Amino acid sequence: MFSDLYSDLANTFNEWLENTPTGGDYVTNLTVDYANRAQDSLWSDPPNGWSLLTRSTQLTITNLVATLPSGCGKLINIYSDEDQDKKPNRYYFKDGGVINGFKFIPAFAKATGHSTTIQFYQAPVEPVFCDYQVKLDAFSGSGTEYLFFPKNLMFCKMQELRCLDKGMLKEWDAISVEFNRELDRFKSQHQNPVEMPGIVINDFNGNEVFIPKYNLSSGLGYGGRMVGSTNDRDVYRI
């Protein structure tokens, strides 16, 4: 892991900017503004959420309606855990079937902003949980503030945004190449770490499907995956 600080990022960006961190008439601190814009952009990158920002919690359901957690910035999964072993047993889907479906009930007011609840079609019998990506606090530019994303990645994104704002398209082209490299490095090292390899087929409820295998020597084999090379026809993992 890494423990980069906002203060180090700000110094690097200010040196590249060759300007004071104070902004113009409306943005008082350019560095803070670009850091927050860069963080917001990176936060929303993967559709299924960043692994290190994903949390799980049990939903409280009243009259078929559940309120999402206060720190929820992106909803990823909704599922039940019948045997409470922390592994999903049934997934629920937006506009799904009567048994495993729900719908969003969004609300927005200029004075209060967005709020969202979900309504199930039928009351779930077992406990229901949700996986969600937590929001990241904005930088204030004071005190000790750690970066969630690596300094190099944040710096490249801030440069990219600055070049785009100022219409420096040639510089933007060059910086975007390095930004994409840094983003790929971060994803390869920190997105879905220690993940089990192999493709798994799931049924409608999200449960793994085991497909029987046959061989010429003994007929029906186990439904697990084969061990070893592709030529190992008689050895199976149970």
pLDDT tens digits, one per residue of 198-215: 777 877 777 778 777 666
* Higher-confidence position of 155 and 223: 155
pLDDT at 237 over 50: no
Q: What is the mean pLDDT of the chain?
A: 87
Per-residue model confidence as pLDDT tens digits over 176-195? 999 999 999 999 998 988 87
**pLDDT at position 233:** 46
Q: What is the DSSP string of the chain?
A: ----BHHHHHHHHHHHHTS-SB-SSS-SBHHHHHHHHHHHHHHT-STT--GGGEEEEEPPEETTEEEPPTTEEEEEEEEE-TT-SSS-SEE-EET--TTTEEEEEEEEETTTEEEEEEEESS--SS-EEEEEEEP-PPP-SSS--B-SS-HHHHHHHHHHHHHHHHT-HHHHHHHHHHHHHHHHHHHHHHSSTTPPPS---B-TTSPBPPPP-EETTTEE--SS-B-SSTT--S-B--
pTM above 0.75, yes or no: yes
**pLDDT at position 238:** 43
